[in-house]
Amino acid sequence: GGGEATGGGEATGRGEATGGGPAPPVVPLRPPQCEGSVELLGASGGTAIVQCSSLRRPPSVWAVKDGGEWTCLVDVGSLVEKHDAGPHCEQARAALRELRSARLEKVRLPEEEGGSEALCLLPAGASRAPWTLKIHGGPHSASLDSWSVEVALLLASGVCVIQPNYRGSIGFGDDFCAALPGHVGEMDVGDCVALTLASLAQLDESLDPARGGAYGGSHGGFLTAWLLGCEERALYSCGVLWNPVVDLPAMLGTTDIPEWVSAEGLQGDAAGAGATWPVGAEDLLELHRRSPLSVIDRVEAPALMLLGAADQRVPHKQGRSWVSALQQVRQRKGAPADVTALEFPGEGHAIASLEGNAHAQQSAVAWLVERLRGESNAS
């Protein structure tokens, strides 16, 4: 089953047993008045260092020794409030104040429908606002109530953000996580669509069903490509794909983790146990059926492709092939493809350099905002 969602990560600590007695119980390492997620950065000599953040508050770093009083070492929000080096600082302060007033809602599917859930962040007073389904990768990862620059920028631009935790996400129990292998391109796509519809129904006064997009990287890009070509594709008027998996058979001979392809795309588990390796002809057909490239002829929405040219996890030829196929399909239909590709030389899967990452994130957000807020009923 889906288990109970936490809405954020929680670091824990355990004292060492002394004198042969039992060890003290595990206790949460959460500084006072810290909402959202807590990440343990390190522990040594009885001192623990953690980072706290939420979707509405930027990170702060705290220290505690031997279970005593917490000390705040760095608070990014306070630094922004105190710093004064021009008009951009005031803009940043205004954005953080608006972010702190944002509304965080949880949407959950019934257990009989899989029990997936989503975190929805909406600007205060949002009314028929545009939205983006921001999809995590992995797929065995999770969307948490933790700081995200992209979410903050989208919210500051008036775009609501829906973060789905589809089946296969971690943090909801072993059964929930293990349900996805062998069912990618089907179960995870269905959960994303169902969570989109549930969010639009639960937050109907806040979200405009006609102004929605999808954005994801890696497996999140795989799902974005699927959503743009699935039966319910009319829900998503545009999409951003960051180093996406689009062609599972082609991944086998190019990725640095070919076993991931068979484990996730065929009937195996996340460790590869039970999956056929090497794959046979029937398996290749099954992998193609589960690939978003198989529905490229249905894609009509505008798309932005972000690619790291040195990506070994999901080689950039994956994204290039999707762009090329879309252009060919649209040309045959007599309509140009509305697709833009940005490729970052020397960058890997995360496009991790300071300059490259900032460029990629700003490009994704600006592109989404232009298309989602550019509709006729945008405020």
Catalytic residues: 218, 311, 349
In terms of Cβ atoms closer than 10 Å to its own Cβ (0-12, 13-18, 19+), residue 135 is buried
Residue pointed to by tokens 């998503």: 236
Beta bridge partners of 49: 42, 63
Backbone angles phi, psi at 240, to 5 degrees: -115, 130
DSSP E strands, 168-225: 207-217
Tell me the sheet residues that pair with 297.
none
SS3 call for 26? coil
Contact indicator for 241, 311 with CB cutoff of 8 Å: no
Q: Which residues of 50-64 are buried (b: 16+ CB within 10 A; e: fewer)?
A: bbbbbbbbbbbbbbb
**Burial class of residue 121 (count of CB atoms within 10 Å of its CB; 0-12, 13-18, 19+):** buried
